[in-house]
Chain A
């Protein structure tokens, strides 16, 4: 007896299979879209894939990352020396998505180098993959351990946050701050290390007593109980460190609980995190890698170029860091004689980190070390009247 396949089943099969087939074809097309990198007397040409946390809780930083990278590529192309195509991938503030995007990049043999900017969880996820696959990875932000230690294909162009906090503690002490409470995110590798180890040590070094410590995951929705305890202890300062908008929620909760001291923090308070609080954020002191009030020539040039490209908007440290990450990659590309392969890029990057002088937004030159890392000094800013003001150096 013949069995007819129900037409409804056929209809659903077509509806289900069509998008899958289409996606597969498009993926196949995109893999072959990027042309083989070339280096000639005319122009150095390659596609630069970047993975940023463009959406999700860390999207506030990722959007700035993209602006910085885009500016660097546009200026490089305008110089006539390069013909670079920026290929943008979104890791969506999620390590699994970051891995998936990294896999897609690695499969395309025409991509000789990649860049990542975003949360440490994502960086720690993709760094081992980049190392084992033999593709050079230039990471920005990505401050935690477990990134560059993966091996010689992984480079970091941003100074790990932990090197900034001793200076912040010194500055806080110089402002008369003697006591401190600490509240931080405990499911982000970088921030957890800052909260568990770096900040308490930095505070102790300058004689600031940490009187209360609280930590919470990034999914925490209410901080009033912690804020009440902190308000009851009434420290001079509170060190706040979470990813994204939660920082603003914590500061609001502290003020609502009646605490009126000084908020201290690091790069997580940078970017567009504090402006929604308005006057509630005034007086917040934080350290980060870059200030728009920079005094270096390359930094000032970056600020002007950024403003021109973004309707007068001032850049933040995230844009500055990815701009510098691209500068490092461009410096390496210029050193390569012959084909731009993954191996040649790796060798060139190692040379840049060992000997090179790269001017960037955060330093002129950037302080790069042979261990494939950065030690460019940070800045300290105070937030007032809707924007940061440089106080040190």
Chain B
């Protein structure tokens, strides 16, 4: 049982890293970025291509490559597609719908590029990027990569939470999320902050992708797609735009999947997990940790 607990924790850590980026872009920019899964994949693909061309690199360097590559790709999407769409949209709802559609197209293009580069076959990172080793402590068996995933996820969550709460830029991002117009009047640059937010969103996905690729052993062009639906579930569970909500939602989903998979079988994992989300939405539609809403009286 304790091994299953560790498994669920490391799965939850991956989900939270993936979902945090998405909740940032959705909560701050109202961008429902369906290309997030392909950004997650492309960060890992960038590492693979780098190692093919220049030889293997240690994991920290691989994470850095994915961080930068995925972050830049997200920025590219923001500059070329999402920002122009938001500028031209007649309202928030129109902007959300239009960026959603644009992200579907972007995702297709990114996956198509990846399929072309990998010749449609699965690839893997070199073994010596990170040598997976078991760690046995009595009845507990885990691997070093699970520890790395947990620690990295925790570090990034804490860093992001601190950044958003305690730094000037973080407060500006929160201001833009509440009211971009008023934030601009107060001196914040919504354009620059949107670009920065998308970079962070993509970068976190890139890091998650590399960790998962090391753990999984092989990946393909559609590597990120199954995670997208889970990420939406995580965000809705936790409350849109709430970092700690995304983390909580990720672990709730991971534990639900693990329990269901072991007791009822893998057939029902997705069904029961999403049924749980449906029930929660009916009972608490704002999510487990919604953003506080203020109202003048």
A214's nearest neighbour on chain B, judged by CB, is B266
Contact B217 A248 (CB under 8 A): yes
Chain B positions within 8 Å of A222 at CB level: 7, 11, 14, 257
Chain A positions within 8 Å of B119 at CB level: 63
B143's nearest neighbour on chain A, judged by CB, is A256
Stretch at the interface among B98-106, B120-128, B278-286: B120-128
Stretch at the interface among A40-48, A225-233, A345-353: A225-233
Contact B269 A216 (CB under 8 A): yes
Contact B7 A54 (CB under 8 A): no
Mark each residue of chain B from 219 to 245: 1 if its CB lies under 8 Å from any CB of chain A, else 0: 111110011001000000000000000
Mark each residue of chain B from 7 to 26: 1 if its CB lies under 8 Å from any CB of chain A, else 0: 11011001000000000000
Give Cα A22–Cα B68 distance, bound, in whole angstroms. 39
- B182 is an interface residue with CB less than 8 A from chain A: no
Selected contact of B218 from candidates A54, A63, A248, CB within 8 Å: A248
- A279 is an interface residue with CB less than 8 A from chain B: yes
State the Cβ distance, A117 to closest chain B Cβ, in Å: 14
Contact B267 A280 (CB under 8 A): no
Chain B positions within 8 Å of A231 at CB level: 141
Chain A positions within 8 Å of B120 at CB level: 54-55, 59-60, 62-63
| Residue in A225, A249, A277, A278 with the greatest tally of chain B CB atoms within 10 Å | A225
Give Cα A252–Cα B131 distance, bound, in whole angstroms. 12
Chain B positions within 8 Å of A277 at CB level: 124, 217-218
Contact B123 A276 (CB under 8 A): yes
Mark each residue of chain A from 216 to 238: 1 if its CB lies under 8 Å from any CB of chain B, else 0: 11011110111011011000000
Selected contact of B122 from candidates A62, A186, A245, CB within 8 Å: A245
Contact B267 A229 (CB under 8 A): no
Give Cα A292–Cα B79 distance, bound, in whole angstroms. 50
Mark each residue of chain B from 81 to 122: 1 if its CB lies under 8 Å from any CB of chain A, else 0: 000000000000000000000000000000010010001111
Chain B positions within 8 Å of A251 at CB level: 217
- B189 is an interface residue with CB less than 8 A from chain A: no
Contact A225 B121 (CB under 8 A): no
- A215 is an interface residue with CB less than 8 A from chain B: yes
Selected contact of B121 from candidates A60, A232, A257, A279, CB within 8 Å: A60
- B3 is an interface residue with CB less than 8 A from chain A: yes
Selected contact of A60 from candidates B143, B220, B270, CB within 8 Å: B220
- A315 is an interface residue with CB less than 8 A from chain B: no
Give Cα A273–Cα B220 distance, bound, in whole angstroms. 10
- A244 is an interface residue with CB less than 8 A from chain B: yes
- A166 is an interface residue with CB less than 8 A from chain B: no
Number of A-B contacts (CB under 8 A): 118
Is the contact region of chain B dominated by helix, strand, or loop, or is it mixed? helix
Chain B positions within 8 Å of A248 at CB level: 122, 124, 216-218
State the Cβ distance, A331 to closest chain B Cβ, in Å: 30
Contact A221 B134 (CB under 8 A): no
- B174 is an interface residue with CB less than 8 A from chain A: no
- A95 is an interface residue with CB less than 8 A from chain B: no
Given the interface pairs A186-B266, A216-B267, A258-B141, the reply to whether A225 lies near B218 with Cβ below 8 Å is no
Contact B226 A245 (CB under 8 A): no
Chain A positions within 8 Å of B136 at CB level: 258
- B290 is an interface residue with CB less than 8 A from chain A: no
Contact B269 A245 (CB under 8 A): no
Contact A225 B141 (CB under 8 A): no
Give Cα A192–Cα B239 distance, bound, in whole angstroms. 37
Contact B269 A252 (CB under 8 A): no
B225's nearest neighbour on chain A, judged by CB, is A219
Contact B8 A257 (CB under 8 A): no
Give Cα A133–Cα B226 distance, bound, in whole angstroms. 36
Contact B226 A219 (CB under 8 A): yes
Given the interface pairs A222-B11, A229-B262, the reply to whether A245 lies near B219 with Cβ below 8 Å is yes
Chain B positions within 8 Å of A146 at CB level: none
Contact A252 B218 (CB under 8 A): yes
Give Cα A272–Cα B121 distance, bound, in whole angstroms. 6
Chain A positions within 8 Å of B4 at CB level: 225, 228
Chain A positions within 8 Å of B217 at CB level: 248-249, 251-252, 276-277, 280
A221's nearest neighbour on chain B, judged by CB, is B226
Give Cα A220–Cα B8 distance, bound, in whole angstroms. 14
A53's nearest neighbour on chain B, judged by CB, is B120
Give Cα A163–Cα B115 distance, bound, in whole angstroms. 33
Contact B124 A220 (CB under 8 A): no
The 19 sampled A-B contact pairs (Cβ below 8 Å) are A59-B115, A60-B220, A63-B121, A216-B261, A216-B266, A217-B270, A219-B226, A221-B226, A221-B227, A222-B14, A245-B220, A248-B217, A248-B218, A253-B216, A256-B134, A271-B121, A276-B123, A277-B124, A277-B218
9 pairs of A and B residues whose beta carbons are closest in the complex: A216-B266, A252-B217, A276-B124, A245-B122, A248-B218, A59-B120, A276-B218, A272-B121, A224-B7
What is the interface of chain B, defined by CB distance below 8 A to chain A? 3-4, 7-8, 10-11, 14, 112, 115, 119-124, 127, 132, 134, 136, 141, 143, 145, 215-223, 226-227, 230, 257-258, 261-262, 265-267, 269-270
Q: Beyond A55-B115, A245-B122, list 4 extra A-B contacts (CB 8 Å).
A: A55-B221, A56-B222, A224-B11, A249-B217
